[in-house]
Amino acid sequence: MDLKANQASPVVADPAPSTPPTSKSVLGIRSSLMSPPGAVLSKYLTIPRKKPGKLNDVRYNGWLDAMRASSPPRKKLLKDRSFGFASDDFNAAYLSWMIKYPSALSSFEDILEQAKGKKIAVFLDYDGTLSPIVDNPDCAIMSDEMRAAVQDVAKNFPTAIISGRSRDKVSKLVGLAELYYAGSHGMDIIGPVNSDAPDDHPSCVKFTDCQGKEVKLFQPAREFIPVIDEVFRTLVETTKEIKGAKVENHKFCASVHYRNVDEMYWLTVAQRVYDVLAEYPRLRLTHGRKVLEVRPDINWNKGKAVEFLLESLGLNDCEDVLPIYIGDDKTDEDAFNALRKGKCGFGILVSSAPRETNAFYSLKDPSEVMEFLKLLTSWKRCSQG
């Protein structure tokens, strides 16, 4: 295998940065960031909200439509007999969509053809790809069978997980040491040190992990950590009376979940996030599956993370390498797009409903992802004799 197996826990803490990050106002954000965190928060909360209750902001700028469209229709509803016609129409639409984005399972031979003479590298998203979407993000547990399938893939191909969750959280959930992890949509990566690669990015910190392996930590938005923390705490405060709303701190982004919020209050959730975001010109919003995510407005995403990891792995020559990225979310489109634009490898979208995508192939759900991963492993084992 290309990535050396670490037998201990895969969770690697950040090394102490050589220059401690400060909340200096390089971010051009409110000067209150100069104060200690507690003071910042209480000060912020006493500031009267700008134009309270101006709900049309989020209606007009398309947030609400994006929120409604942010998860595929419920299968349960479609299977319901009283929705028979809708279900037939849906199936027809799905089948014609699959002509454009064929199943990676039925196209497996084609994929192997593309991989001829090349080294496959595998990139995986976590939620909705390796674990099914569930109501409570803390309960998104990957099955043991899926874990074994990922482990086998990682023993046979360079493999990385690129998640919207924090790196710590996703590496704990996956619990495998054989692969690399990128958290916060690629803004927090631990990757290998490639001595052949040109000079590293200034945001890289090299260190030796607990297994004695030299690795590098790449956090291009490191200066935003205190800001995201402040925004997280503000969002917790401003959404606390909305039943079902949940806010997560992923270190480089804060996620506001509305999956469990009654739809009649989605506008309120959106407006609260909008109002907080309005105070931070260097942060931006992205939409995920029933989640609003506030993150640094920097030119970095899952696509850039894939390119970074390929380079770190010494796998950036498209003539010799076929990267495959499997994901289900809007944020995965950046990775699909990077591969498509670079004409290097391809994306596989996990979706049980038709959707515009930059991927080339599709898989219906995590169980099909597992089947695909198992096929990859058995093909590799057979081809090695």
Shortest reach from residue 244's CB to ligand L263DTV3, in Å: 11
Nearest to 185 by CA among 290, 257, 285, 281: 285
Q: Which stretch binds ligand L263DTV3 (CB under 6 A): 128-136, 142-150, 196-204, 336-344?
A: 128-136
Choose, by CB under 6 A, the member of 155, 165, 272, 295 that binds ligand L263DTV3: 165
Shortest reach from residue 266's CB to ligand L263DTV3, in Å: 13
| 3-state class (DSSP) for residue 248 | strand
Interface with ligand L263DTV3 includes 128 (CB under 6 A)? yes
d(CA 248, CA 138): 10
> Beta strand pairing status for 254-257 and 291-296?
antiparallel
d(CA 21, CA 253): 17
Shortest reach from residue 110's CB to ligand L263DTV3, in Å: 26
> 138: Cβ–Cβ under 8 A, 6 or more apart, which residues?
none
Shortest reach from residue 163's CB to ligand L263DTV3, in Å: 3
Query: What part of residues 188-207 is at the interface with ligand L263DTV3 (CB under 6 A)?
Result: none
User: With contacts defined by CB under 6 A, how many residues of the chain interact with ligand L263DTV3?
Assistant: 24
Ramachandran angles phi, psi of 42, nearest 5°:
-65, -35
Query: How far is residue 285 CA from its own chain's centroid?
Result: 14
The contact pattern for ligand L263DTV3, residues 302-341, with x = CB under 6 A and - = no contact, is ---------------------------x-x----------
Task: Return the sign of the alpha-carbon dihedral for residues 271, 277, 278, 279.
Answer: positive
Give 219 or 255: the residue with its C-beta nearer to ligand L263DTV3. 255
Query: How far is residue 259 CA from its own chain's centroid?
Result: 17
> 383: Cβ–Cβ under 8 A, 6 or more apart, which residues?
none
Which ranges in the chain belong to alpha helices (H)? 37-46, 56-60, 63-68, 75-79, 84-100, 108-115, 144-156, 167-174, 225-239, 266-277, 302-312, 333-341, 366-383
Count of C-beta atoms within a 10 Å radius of residue 69: 12
Which residue is closest to ligand L263DTV3 by CB? 164
Give 163 or 219: the residue with its C-beta nearer to ligand L263DTV3. 163
Interface with ligand L263DTV3 includes 358 (CB under 6 A)? no
Give 167 or 290: the residue with its C-beta nearer to ligand L263DTV3. 290
Give 40 or 190: the residue with its C-beta nearer to ligand L263DTV3. 190
**Out of 14, 125, 229, 334, which one is annotated catalytic?**
125
Annotation marks residue 125 as catalytic = yes
Interface with ligand L263DTV3 includes 164 (CB under 6 A)? yes
Query: What part of residues 240-299 is at the interface with ligand L263DTV3 (CB under 6 A)?
Result: 248, 250, 255, 257, 259, 288-291, 293
| 3-state class (DSSP) for residue 257 | strand
Shortest reach from residue 179's CB to ligand L263DTV3, in Å: 14
Secondary structure letter of residue 15 according to DSSP: P
Q: Which stretch binds ligand L263DTV3 (CB under 6 A): 11-19, 110-118, 130-138, 236-244?
A: 130-138
Q: 375 vs 88, 147, 209, 368, CA distance in Å?
A: 31, 15, 32, 10
Shortest reach from residue 170's CB to ligand L263DTV3, in Å: 6
Interface with ligand L263DTV3 includes 167 (CB under 6 A)? no
Shortest reach from residue 228's CB to ligand L263DTV3, in Å: 13
Secondary structure letter of residue 354 according to DSSP: -
Give 30 or 167: the residue with its C-beta nearer to ligand L263DTV3. 167
Nearest to 353 by CA among 84, 68, 96: 96
Query: How far is residue 111 CA from its own chain's centroid?
Result: 24
Residues that bind ligand L263DTV3 (CB under 6 A): 125-128, 133-135, 137, 140, 163-165, 248, 250, 255, 257, 259, 288-291, 293, 329, 331
Catalytic residues: 125
